[in-house]
Amino acid sequence: MSPLINPGDLGDSTILDVRWRLVGAPGIDSYREGHLPGAVFCDLDHDLAAPPGAGGRHPLPDAQRFQDAMRRLGVSRSRRVVVYDEADATAAARAWWTLRYFGHPDVRVLDGGYRRWVEEGRPVIKGDVLAEPGDFTAEPGGMPVLDAAGAGTLAQEGVLLDARGAERYRGEVEPIDAVAGHIPGAVSAPTMENVDPSGRFHSPEFLRERFISFGALPEVPVGAYCGSGVTAAHEVLAMEIAGVHAALYVGSWSNWINDLSRPIATG
C-alpha cells in the first residue's frame, strides 16, 4: 500500500493540515486563508514534537502528549488519516511518520499538497474547523528510530543519509544550529531531490535508483537524519515509496551537537 494518496481518493478520511515554516509566518495563518474542506490544523511544533531541549529542536513527544493532541484533532485508529502541507510534504511527512510510529495503521500523504489541490480546481474553505474528538490510542514502536549512538554506528556500519542541503552537510553554512558539519560517515542525500518542481514525489522507480546510488538497499541497515527530524522524515517517506525501510534519528543534528564529545566532519 502506497503511503501517498491523490486528491480524488480522499473519501472518508480525517484530514490534517500540517503547513509549517521554519521561519516566517506560522502555518495556521495559511490554514485560515484556505484549506481542504473538513481539514483540521495540526501544529508541527506543538502537536508532533516535544519542547526543544537536549533532545533537539523537535524531539519525539511522549505517548500521552501525542495521544491527547491527536484525539483533539479528531484522529481515531479505525479511520484513515490524510496529511498534507503546502506542496512538497516536508512537514506532512513528519505527521505521517509520527502517526505511524505511534501505531496508526493507515496514514497517507496527499501528494502535491494544498497547491495541487487548488491547481486542480477543488473546493477550499476558510477559517477554523473544530473536530469531533477522536479515540486514538498512542502505542510507540511502530517505526524504527535511532538515538545518537545508533546513528553514529549506522554511519560506519550501514548507510546513514543526511537529508539537509549539501552545503549544510559540507559545513559551508549553518543557518540554524550552533555547529556546522555532519555525522562522520553519513552520506549527503538532500531530501528535496525526492520531489519534482511541483512538489510531487518522483516515481518509485526513480527513487529506488536514487537510493541505490547511495547504497541504501532493502537488505542494508539504513537511517536518515537532518537538522531536527523533520526533513529526515521526508527522506524516510521517500525510501518507503522506494521499498526501503529506514530508521529515523529524531533528534538529528540539533541533538548530535549537544554533546561536545561527539565527532563532527566537514567537507
Structural contact between residues 254 and 53, judged by C-beta atoms closer than 8 angstroms: no
For 87-139, the DSSP string reads: SS-TTHHHHHHHHHHTT-S-EEEETTHHHHHHHTT---B-S--PPPP------
Residue 95 to residue 68: CA distance in whole angstroms: 15
Phi, psi of 48 (to 5 degrees): -115, 5
Cell numbers given for 122: 477543488
Beta carbons within 8 Å of 26's beta carbon, 6+ residues apart: 20
The secondary structure of residue 24, as a DSSP letter, is: S
Q: What's the angle, vertex CA 33, arms to CA 29 and CA 230, rounded to 5?
A: 45
Active-site residue, from 226, 236, 238, 247: 226
The verdict on whether 42 is a catalytic residue reads no
Within 13 Å and on the Cβ side, how many CA atoms surround 126?
A: 2
Active site residues: 226
